[in-house]
Amino acid sequence: MTDSTPVDRAGGAPRPPGAGLAALALRWSDALLPVAALLVFLVAWEILGRLTDPILFAPPSRVVRGFAELVETGRMQRALLVTSNALGVAFVLSVIVGLPLGLVLGRWKLLADVFEPYLDAIYATPRVVIVPLVILWFGVGYEGRVFLIWIGTFIPIVINTAIGVRNARRDLIEVATSFGADERQLARHVILPGAVPYIMAGLRIAMGRALVGVIVAEIFLDLTGLGGIIQTESAYFRTHRMLAAVVVVALLGTVLISSMGWLERRFAGWKESTAR
């Protein structure tokens, strides 16, 4: 008679009966738990929305109808395109400015001592406060919106990049320098790979700040994009349409932050390859 006990082929050890089913059930529970939480949230929202004045708080069923109305008229598509354009341009400019500046401030302490207090002051200042100044400088058009997004977005990238550069391994820097590596080679092969976790943390924070900035700019400058829909529909007490735009903003933020996580995993491989 042969033994029917399952055997783990990787190590040859017998596997308890039902272990595969237990692992499958665990994977299914991990996948279903977020879905169940979302369903509970939507049901609670629907019940609360139906018990509340629709002007104050619309249920998901009315929000879906409001979203369909905005899509049918084309407002949602145009608003999403306008918001994404300003957000993307400002974020790219923030990366172009923030990464080199963070590298410089991380490598030269004297420059960091001079400039970082001003960066901290700008970062701590709410962007709503500088809206009148932005209007005077750039007007209420596209340039003003991009600047208002950029001014609060590039600083987290600068600060986190500088911290990552300062935490680079000194022994690796000394070895590379002893073999004649210049600043560009040090940055490429030693400093930036070690600073990847800090840089990606800065990019995640910056993306969240950029999304907040674009909505603030659209509400307080020219009432365009998703922020314009939120402001306009709330002014006319069309709460279901306003919440539809809010949900789109939340979903957009989720997608963008998740993309930063994907980017971090991609650069983790670069860090490992350069560390060998």
Whether 69 is in a domain gets the answer: yes
Together in a domain, 100 and 66: yes
Q: Structure pTM? A: 0.80
Q: Which residues span the domain enclosing 36?
A: 18-51
Distance (Å, whole) CA 84 – CA 61: 26
Q: What is the pLDDT of residue 1?
A: 44
Together in a domain, 251 and 191: yes
Whether 3 is in a domain gets the answer: no
Whether 5 is in a domain gets the answer: no
Give the CA distances from residue 111 to residues 86, 94, 103, in Å, rounded to whole numbers and listed in that order: 31, 19, 11
Distance (Å, whole) CA 173 – CA 32: 47
Together in a domain, 109 and 163: yes
Together in a domain, 143 and 186: yes
In total, how many domains does the chain have?
A: 2
Whether 8 is in a domain gets the answer: no
Whether 117 is in a domain gets the answer: yes
Distance (Å, whole) CA 82 – CA 80: 6
Whether 37 is in a domain gets the answer: yes
Whether 13 is in a domain gets the answer: no
Q: What is the pLDDT of residue 140?
A: 84
Query: Exposed, middle or buried, 37 (CB in 10 Å: 0-12/13-18/19+)?
Result: exposed
Together in a domain, 123 and 221: yes
Structure tokens at 234: 């709330």
Amino acid occupying residue 188 = R
Name residue, tokens 């139906």.
Answer: 50
Give the CA distances from residue 85 to residues 23, 79, 135, 155, 210, in Å, rounded to whole numbers and listed in that order: 44, 10, 20, 20, 12
Q: What is the DSSP letter of 210?
A: H
Together in a domain, 93 and 38: no
Q: What is the pLDDT of residue 34?
A: 78
What is the DSSP secondary-structure string of 175-222? HHHHTT--HHHHIIIIIHHHHHHHHHHHHHHHHHHHHHHHHHHIIIII
> What is the Cα 83 distance to its own chain's centre?
15
Residues of the chain with pLDDT under 50: 1-2, 5-11, 274
Q: What is the pLDDT of residue 154?
A: 94
Together in a domain, 84 and 138: yes
Distance (Å, whole) CA 236 – CA 234: 5
Question: Tell me: the pLDDT tens digits for 193-215?
Answer: 778 888 888 999 999 999 999 99
Q: What is the pLDDT of residue 19?
A: 54
Name residue, tokens 């940055």.
Answer: 187
CATH of the domain at 111: 1.10.3720.10
Together in a domain, 44 and 149: no
Q: Dihedral (C-alpha) 38, 41, 44, 49: value to the nearest 10 degrees?
A: -100
What integer best gives the mean pLDDT of the chain? 83
Structure tokens at 250: 């939340």
